Structure 1
Amino acid sequence: MRTTLHLAGVPSSLAEFAATHRRAIADALLAIAILSFTVPATLLQLSFSLWGPIPDWIEVLVEVITVGTLLIRRRTALPMIIASVVCAVVTGQIVPMAFAAYSMTAENKVRHWQAVSIPLIAAATAVDYVDPGTDNFLYLCLVRALTLIYLPALIGTWVRGYRGMIFELRAGMRERERLAACRERRKIARELHDTVTHAVTVMVLNAGIIHDNADPEVDRLATTIEDKGVEALGELRDLLTVLRREDEPRAAAGARAIPRLVEEAAATGTQVSLRYDLPDIGLPTQVGHACYRVVQEGLSNVRKHAPGSRVHVVCETEDGVVTVSVVNGRDTGRARLSLQRLLPTSGYGLAGLEERITLLHGRLERGATSDGGFTLTARIPCRPGNARSSGDLAGEVADEVAGGERP
């Protein structure tokens, strides 16, 4: 998980970099702190060795190697433990051992950390005992060694336990959210099956009755209603499958179905023109289906709110961005019947369409035109490798909502 930082006065790119490389930055700052503590003591002749005088360059080299092992402490703690003991014996610096003791328990890299702490405490006691700047009381040296080694190791166990608890809480929260979403999807599926599917089925059956007992003109209209009703039942069946299995509908219409959608709109009396310039292959399923839904929603809104207007549909791609727009002019008032008086307005069509486009990292624009019409435009990035399944997109959203990182 990548947690986004919101810091006043800090550019978003810098905040994102800090969040992404949080552990690496912490290790680098810790390495600088240890070098700032050990190297000046060596250069100022304040260090000492259990084996007598040692050249400064050897001491500095040992300190740098010790800091280098600090950078791999999250993968393995043994190199840092050995290097910190050598650093303490050669330079008299026991601070790296305190960090080694903390890391071996906080990162859970040593199974029997109590046993490993014994040689560290012994080395710290010996170095403190021979330090010319301290007293020569052995029990005080042992107490200080226990404080500097065992206490950080104990704190590391507490930190590890806290991280594990946070991870379990976040995992439980994600699981509860998943189960709640699953229950909600099943509830919606039941409602769709019990209400909408039933109503559409009755409509198809009635259209079939009219089809068998009507004149040619009414027969043609009844056939159209029957065909669209059967198509709607198929889409509802796919939608119910999606809600219950969280999969993408296998019969989901893509961009290649847009010309057929425009032809159907023209057959119902809508004055519509199409400029289609999208590739037949290479367009991700999610993007193609979103393009189809944009045109479908735009034409549906025109039939509801401006049935007498002229509509222009444009589908094109440029510089890795797919642009789909549905633009209608001002309603001429020549339509015989406005569906706006017959069909209820839900207000959810454009909102749902915007959510669909946002999941694809695109942008939906809508608004009035200068001539009193309306425009609906979607711009969706579509570069090679951008094709992702609906499960991947849902996983991204869930990660953003749940947050968290396994320790």
Structure 2
Amino acid sequence: MAHTEYVRDEHGESVKRYRSLLVDLLLAAAVLAFTIPTTAIGHSYALWGDPPDWLSHLVGAITAATMLVRRRTPWPAIIASAVCACVTAQTVPLILAAFSMTSEHRMRSWKIVALVLTAVYAVADYVDPYTDETLYLSVVRALTLVYLPALVGTWVCKYRGLVGELRAGVREREEFAASEERRRLARELHDTVTHAVTGMVLNAGIIRDVEDPAEIPELAAGIEDKGVQALAELRQLLTVLRRDEVPAARGADAIARLVRDAEAAGLRVDLHLDLPEDGLSPRVKHACYRLVQEGLSNVRKHAPGALVQVSCVLDGGQVCVRVDNTAGEGYHTHTMARRAASAGGGYGLDGLRERVTLVGGRLTAGPTPDGGFAIAARLPLSADDRSVE
């Protein structure tokens, strides 16, 4: 994706450079078209009289060449166009120089320079034997054809700057949205995979140490169920990515199922569930589900012999979710906990805190006085439902 955007930007910049070069070449050709033929037919003149043809050709060629560097610096075009007007009486380069001066550059003294170019145009137009030689009309033409293009150039420059800022803002927002999407997917993958793999690792450890062979089929079935559940959730997540939809929110029934699965894996869980099916936004329901899932996964990994209390209730217009456990007991359970912990990456609580914050809630996590651990969150009843985090 990043490589594609880079190639696209490079292609756009190349097209822009070629287009700019083509425009500059056309302007240089226009300057030559106004100066060289006029000298050839004998209609060029200088303010002091008839200039030699070679001088008119040279000045015209130099003025045309300055059109190729007008985007880098405005001064060569400004000086050359003024000299060209005085030597050949051709005023078109003055118009191009005045516009380029303000449209391609931010000059603080552009008004003074524009007035000087306007005066040069007015003088050259007034003494031109092929015009009406009316000072008033010469001044009007100078203001209209030199100062006005310079003024319009300032608007063009501001417009380009505004477009550049808008494009930069759009790109920044796109990068931020892509980053947030990656973080969301990382949270979903972590919560889905870690929960299932933790249960599978625990059951596998029990199978290795079990004394009664009759228990092995049941434990193996538990591993199979967890694997199937993980594959189903991953398939659902991939389907969401392909269809650009949102995953279905998991509510109170899913939380009860989590607790039943934990009990089937050997945990002792006391559930207090009192959440309405209606009135909660999908994002809040999903956050409750993930919080309970992460809490039970942590107990399985770090204190599988502990007593767990899960509470999901309404309190003061907010959803209160809490998973706390006592300290685990027994060497055998701690051995399994160390095995399960090796499968985790340590991102669960951080991702959970982000998830809770995104729905407008507050998360607390830490040890309890009895040596256990507690995860608690207070969530609003509703949140922005455009996506399910």
TM-score of the aligned structures, taking structure 2 as reference length: 0.51
Q: 1:2 touches 1:19 (CA, 8 Å); kept in 2?
A: no
What's the secondary structure of 2:71's corresponding residue? coil
Question: How far has the Cα of 1:213 moved from its partner?
Answer: 2.8
Question: Which of 117, 120, 124 is residue 121 of structure 2 equivalent to?
Answer: 124
Q: 1:197 to 1:20 in 2, by over 3 A?
A: farther
Query: Following TM superposition, by how much is the alpha carbon of 1:2 offset from its aligned partner in structure 2, in angstroms?
Result: 4.5
Q: Residue by residue, what CA displacement relative to the aligned partner does 1:38-67 show, whole Å, maximum 9, x if unpaired?
A: 211111111111021211111011011111
Asked if 1:174 is matched to 2:171, the reply is yes
Asked whether the equivalents of residues 129 and 137 of structure 1 are also in contact (C-alpha less than 8 Å), the reply is yes
Cα shift at 1:17:
7.1
Q: Which residue of 1 aligns with 2:81?
A: 84
Which runs of 5 or more residues in structure 2 are unaligned? Answer: 1-8, 235-389
Corresponding residue of 2:181: 184
1:42 maps to which of 7, 15, 39: 39
The alpha-carbon deviation at position 20 of structure 1 amounts to 4.9
Task: State the shift of 1:3 in Å.
Answer: 5.3
Cα distance change of structure 1 residues 18 and 164 upon mapping to structure 2, 3 Å threshold: closer
SS at match of 2:90: coil
Task: Give the alignment partner of residue 56 of structure 2, picking from 56, 59, 64.
Answer: 59
Identity %: 58
1:153 to 145, 150, 172: 150
Q: What's the CA shift string for 1:201-252, capped at 9, x where partnerless?
A: 111111111122378xx9xxx9xx9xxx9xx9xxx9xxxxxxxxxxxxxxxx
Distance 1:72 1:137 in 2: 35
Q: Give the alignment partner of residue 198 of structure 2, picking from 198, 201, 207.
A: 201
Matched, 1:133 2:155: no
Letter paired with 1:145: A
Shift of 1:182: 2.0
Choose the corresponding residue for 1:213, options 200, 210, 213.
210
Conserved? CA contact 1:76–1:109, under 8 Å: no
Closer, same or farther in 2 for the Cα pair 1:88/1:3, shift >3 Å?
A: same
Kept in 2, the 8 Å contact 1:88–1:94? The answer is yes
Scaled by the length of structure 1, the TM-score of the pair is: 0.48
CA distance in 2, matches of 1:52, 1:18: 46
User: For 2:102 and 2:197, how far apart are their aligned partners in 1?
Assistant: 64
Stretches of structure 1 lacking an aligned partner (at least 5 in a row): 5-15, 237-407
Larger radius of gyration: 2
**SS of match in other structure, 1:21:** helix
> Once the two structures are superposed, what CA deviation does each residue of 1:279-327 show, in whole Å capped at 9, x if it has no partner?
xxxxxxxxxxxxxxxxxxxxxxxxxxxxxxxxxxxxxxxxxxxxxxxxx
Contact 1:2 1:20 in 2 (8 A): no
Q: Report how many residues are paired.
A: 212
- Tell whether the 8 Å contact from 2:35 to 2:56 is kept in structure 1 after alignment: no
Alpha-carbon deviation of 1:136? 2.1
Q: What is the Cα deviation at residue 187 of structure 1? A: 1.7
User: Residues 105 and 154 of structure 1 are in contact (CA less than 8 Å); yes or no, is this contact kept in structure 2?
Assistant: yes
CA drift of 1:188 comes to 1.5
Letter paired with 2:179: C
* Separation in 2, partners of 1:110, 1:60: 30
In 2, are the aligned partners of 1:75 and 1:109 still within 8 Å (CA)?
A: no
What letter corresponds to residue 57 of structure 1 in structure 2?
W
Match of 2:161 in 1: 164
